[in-house]
A and B are shown apart, each in its own frame.
Chain A
Amino acid sequence: MSVSSDNQPRPTRNHANGSHSTGVADSGRWSTRRIAIYALFVALAMVLSFIELPIFPAAPWLKYDPSGIVCLIAGFAFGPSAAGIVSVLGFLPHVFTNPWGALMSMAVAVALSVPAALIYRRMRTRAGAAWGMAVGMVLALIIAIVGNLLITPIYAHMSTAQVAAMILPVLLPFNLLKFAIHAVVTFLIYKPITTLLDR
């Protein structure tokens, strides 16, 4: 993650506009390159959000999908607003099949990627990325658990207390495992991807 130099004021613009600009897309606006990259990242998040891997045998209805990785990468490379857009739009197709679940997935993805991007923007080092993801994980964990307390009773005839009983044995370990996989994969693939972005 050492690609952009550490003391650049607005490093996000680098990735989004490229050099040899004709000046038509001046600063403060969204260049077509930014629009195109956001679009492809959103498409990628949508595609990956349909992959559902059961990683936690104790709760087969909780599935791992890799789309969170795209949100994190978008945030690191293009800043918090990109993380937010990819997180929200990426789950939009699910609104038409599972509206509450989709809203919750959006909230969790935003809670994970936006704080991570905000911290990495101020601390552009490996440690900054790690801190960012750690803070994001804590916030996302809180949202995921609160969300489950609110939403699970809509799908199953359970009281909030019954759902709360699942927090320690099921929800907490599942979400920790999920975010840990996100973080490890993001760490591994971020370097080659920034090489591509800076080309």
Chain B
Amino acid sequence: MNNVIGGTVHLDDVRFSYDNGATWVLDGVDLDIRSGECVCLIGPNGAGKSTLARLVAGLAAPDSGSVRLLGCAVFGDDGPHAESYRTARRGIGAVFQNPEDQIVTTVLEDDVAFGPENLAVERDEIGRRIDSALQCVDLTDLRMADPTRFSGGQQQRAAIAGMLAMHPRLLVLDEPTAMLDAASRAEVMAVLDTLHASGTTIVHVTHRTEETLHADRVLQLEDGRIADVSPGKSAAAIRPSHRMTEQQSPAPGATEHSPSMSKAKEQTPPAPKMALQEPTTPLVSLDHVTFAYPDAVSPVLADVSLHINAGETVALMGANGSGKSTLAKLVCALGKPSSGDITVAGIAVARRDGRHMRYANRRQLKALRGAVGYVMQHPERQLFAQTVAEDVAYGPRNQGLGDKQATERVGQALRLLHIEHLAERSPFALSVGQQRLAAIAGVIACRPRLLVMDEPTAGLDARARAYVRELIDSLHDSGVAVLLITHDSDEARQLADRVIELGGESEQDKSSHRRLKQDNTSRHSEQDQPSRCHSERAKRVEESPIARLDPRVKLPALLALMLCAFAIGNATQLAVGALAVLAIVIASRIKPGRLLRSIHGFLVLFVLMGLLNVFFVRTGTALFTFGSFSVTDEGLATAGLYICRFAMVIILGAVFLETTTPTAITDALASLLSPLRRLGLHTQETALVLSLALRFIPTLVGEVRSIFDAQSARGGSIETGSAFQRIRAMGAIIVPVFAGALRHADNLSLALDARCYEQGLTRTHWHLLRLGFNDCLFALFTLAAIAAILLLGLLP
């Protein structure tokens, strides 16, 4: 490995095809990157940037050519060299576009430790690496926080920290800022500058002109080749002449420096494209609307009023978490405000009626769905049908249109978005940009009078962006009102008659604490998960004797106690069980109110169980008699006993889940199951599968909800219609959900590769499991309780 000829990265005549050679994504790429260089890779969507980034990161092998990474000849004429790839990868870090999919656990320090653990770094050294990595990305204060709830910028910084802890010599970043707002982009770019200054070689794929200013060299990838090698710094001056940038604002570097909104408002001409100035009834009116997610600390929207006239294009701007998306959903009747009036297209969506709120009924909702189109964030995620045409026809068909009319609508919508040629293709075989256009066509085909679009151009390349903007313009000309949510102030100025800014938070506010706080409230409530903010209360529970037990003892002990509870058959046994549960609850320091809430969902089941018991037990003295039924005292006693013992089980389960992190559950399972490894079972991998699954649950729940909303907005409903319509509606939700799961899986597998995870590798552990005195005590306690219950059952 001493011969570092050719520098850090050396690619020679590299070709890569996704379809066995029919087309070449990379077609003869030669590339040399020197140690310590910062190289930017630019080019249109589909030019092969991500593919090249994966090759450079050692995460994929090409079809032909030769690749040398960090001095290791990893690919040559004789194919891939697994051992060299393995060696090279240990020195290469990779960060990807989607921040969330790179997170593997729910505690930041554990997430950062994952890579070093895979490299079998000593435990003390892991601790030092976590410290310095978090310091470098400025996340030290959030060390114990849950990264799945971070803002996008914080998540990317966490992902970078996860890489830094592995001490990479080369860091490859594939559009790390594509999904971020301006403030978060700046955070990430600042970290990259620091790393570059400290000598790390950086390969950075980007769409943004201003980010290439940081580079030593800018490489332009086009049609599978490196077309243009321009020296950095000055590159920005050359770029606008290129064809893909002609739609962009020509001022290099200036595009994203968001001008103050007051300026934007001034620049909006006083006589907008709207000719009508006389007062008409607005198409949309929100009056004093307040909306809070369940158990959020403060409302997302507080006393918001907003009016949109027919045919008007209104841009809605504001920092992340200011409630833009929530407002869009309220307008589409996909959420219910807690107070205020909403009227859309003459339909009272929400109205204050005395002390109560009244919401639109089913018939009104149907009328509203016909009038309002909703393009959610990343609408490509709602695609489900076999062909684009079929997908676009979904909305018109739900409106009850016949074949001919539906086909006509589909044709028009596809033409408006310039994708007629894709009509018969599978939506899943398209590029992201094409998918976005197809999904938007699916909403346009419903012919709405109002179109609500949530960041429709985010992450698109210049051409696709231009098509979407053209669409908004032509909708405006044909009198359709548009509510456009955007982060791009140029876009807002260019397209909208009016710009409205939501929330007082300025974009400049980069204090990470504030952002997290703000983010926590919004994100957490969206996902309906119990809050894990580090409040005093949560801390008390975390430090309780139960929480500090070794999960290897706690898990089997509590499970045994739970199973044993079902053996309770008389009052004495119940008393023993109840005392044991009480002792455990007290030792866990969880507030009784919180536990009651966890039982809340089972109340219906309790009632049913009670009724069943009352009905089936005929012995004892009859208390009431209804016809042939009789309720006996023994029946009631049995019902009470069964409900109590089931409640005990649920309380014990809740205590376990409240006091044990997913990581601890996984560690315990891996350790308890490890003897099965001898039988050839993949216990370590199964435990990892479980821990990743638990971590992705909130993500999937959020996604299922947004797809459900989007399809409802196109008139798809599982609750009404014929059996066939319902099953089709179910398919329109399940297929995109699966697609989403697979997309996350693809990203996640790359993230695992980048962290050097391999099956069967010897890992070190940041978390040490140690059996202590308390663990033995707890084991004895549960054993005693179980023995008592079982023995009392044997007594006459």
Using CB atoms and an 8 Å cutoff, list the residues of chain A in contact with chain B.
20-26, 29-33, 35-44, 46-47, 60-61, 66, 69, 73, 85, 89, 92, 95-100, 154-158, 162, 184-185, 188-189, 191-193, 195-197, 199
Contact = CB atoms under 8 A, between A and B. Distances in A.
B693 A20 contact: no
A22 B61 CA distance: 5
A29 B741 CA distance: 22
> Top 5 nearest A-B pairs by Cβ distance?
A23-B82, A96-B653, A39-B692, A36-B749, A42-B693
Contacts of A158: 612, 616
B229 interface: no
A43 B682 contact: no
A24 B60 contact: no
A186 to B, nearest CB: 10
A197 B80 contact: no
Contact of B616 (A60, A95, A156, A195): A156
Contact of A24 (B384, B741, B758): B758
Interface string B723-754: 00001001100110111011011101110110
B555 to A, nearest CB: 10
Name the prevailing secondary structure of the A interface residues. Answer: helix
A25 B685 CA distance: 13
B136 interface: no
Contacts of B757: 32, 35
A36 B61 contact: no
A159 to B, nearest CB: 9
Given A36-B746, A99-B649, 13 more contacts: A22-B58, A22-B59, A23-B80, A37-B749, A39-B748, A40-B700, A85-B686, A96-B653, A97-B649, A154-B566, A156-B642, A158-B612, A185-B731
Contact of A192 (B384, B650, B749): B384
Nearest to A45: B693
B72 to A, nearest CB: 12
A26 B82 contact: yes
A89 B693 CA distance: 9
A39 B103 CA distance: 13
23 contacts: A21-B80, A25-B759, A32-B750, A32-B752, A33-B745, A33-B746, A35-B692, A36-B746, A37-B745, A39-B692, A39-B748, A40-B692, A43-B693, A43-B696, A46-B693, A47-B701, A61-B605, A73-B738, A96-B654, A98-B649, A99-B649, A155-B646, A185-B730
Contacts of A89: 686, 689-690, 693
Candidate in B638, B654, B704, B741 with the most chain A CB atoms within 10 angstroms: B741
Nearest to B665: A92
A40 B696 contact: yes
Given A35-B685, A43-B741, A196-B739, A97 B602 contact: yes
A99 B565 CA distance: 11
A44 B737 contact: yes
A66 B616 CA distance: 31
B720 to A, nearest CB: 14
A69 B745 contact: no
Nearest to B690: A89
Given A31-B749, A100-B566, A191-B386, A38 B616 contact: no
A39 B700 contact: no
A35 B646 CA distance: 35
Contacts of A95: 559, 653
B656 interface: yes
Nearest to A97: B653
B577 to A, nearest CB: 15
A23 B86 CA distance: 9
B388 to A, nearest CB: 13
Contact of B694 (A43, A157, A196, A199): A43
B692 A195 contact: no
B201 interface: no
B746 A22 contact: no
B383 to A, nearest CB: 9
Interface string B675-698: 000000010011011101110110
Interface in B597-624: 602, 605, 608-609, 612-613, 616-617
Nearest to B88: A22
A96 B656 contact: yes
B62 interface: yes
A139 B82 CA distance: 43
B428 interface: yes
A38 B689 contact: yes
A193 B745 contact: no
Contact of B60 (A20, A100, A185): A20
Candidate in A39, A41, A97, A154 with the most chain B CB atoms within 10 angstroms: A39
Interface residues of B, number: 79
Given A23-B80, A184-B727, A42 B734 contact: no
Nearest to B753: A32
Contacts of A31: 749, 759
B81 interface: yes
Interface in B631-675: 638, 642, 646, 649-650, 653-654, 656-657
B682 to A, nearest CB: 6
Contact of A39 (B696, B737, B750): B696
A189 B386 contact: no
Contact of B700 (A38, A47, A188): A47
Nearest to B612: A156
Contact of B61 (A23, A40, A98): A23
A193 B562 CA distance: 39
Interface in B32-80: 58-63, 74, 79-80
B734 A30 contact: no
Candidate in B605, B649, B738, B739 with the most chain A CB atoms within 10 angstroms: B738
Contacts of A193: 735, 738-739, 742
B89 interface: yes
Contacts of A191: 386
A79 B737 CA distance: 21
A197 B734 CA distance: 15
Contacts of B86: 24
B690 A92 contact: yes
B429 interface: yes
B529 to A, nearest CB: 12
Contact of B727 (A22, A155, A185): A185
A22 B686 CA distance: 23
Candidate in A38, A95, A157 with the most chain B CB atoms within 10 angstroms: A157
B693 A99 contact: no
B518 interface: no
Contacts of A47: 697, 700-701, 704
A98 B562 CA distance: 9
Contacts of A185: 727, 730-731, 734
A82 B553 CA distance: 29
A159 B80 CA distance: 65
B638 A157 contact: yes
A66 B86 CA distance: 40
Contacts of B646: 155
Given A192-B384, A193-B735, A157 B616 contact: yes
A189 B654 CA distance: 36
B293 interface: no
A192 B428 contact: yes
B426 interface: yes
Interface in B107-138: none
A189 B566 CA distance: 40
A89 B692 CA distance: 12
B85 A32 contact: no
Contacts of A195: 426, 428-429
Contacts of A98: 649-650
Contacts of A21: 60-61, 80
Contacts of A162: 616
A48 B82 CA distance: 39
A177 B328 CA distance: 39
A66 B701 CA distance: 14
Contacts of A97: 602, 649-650, 653-654
Interface in B218-249: none
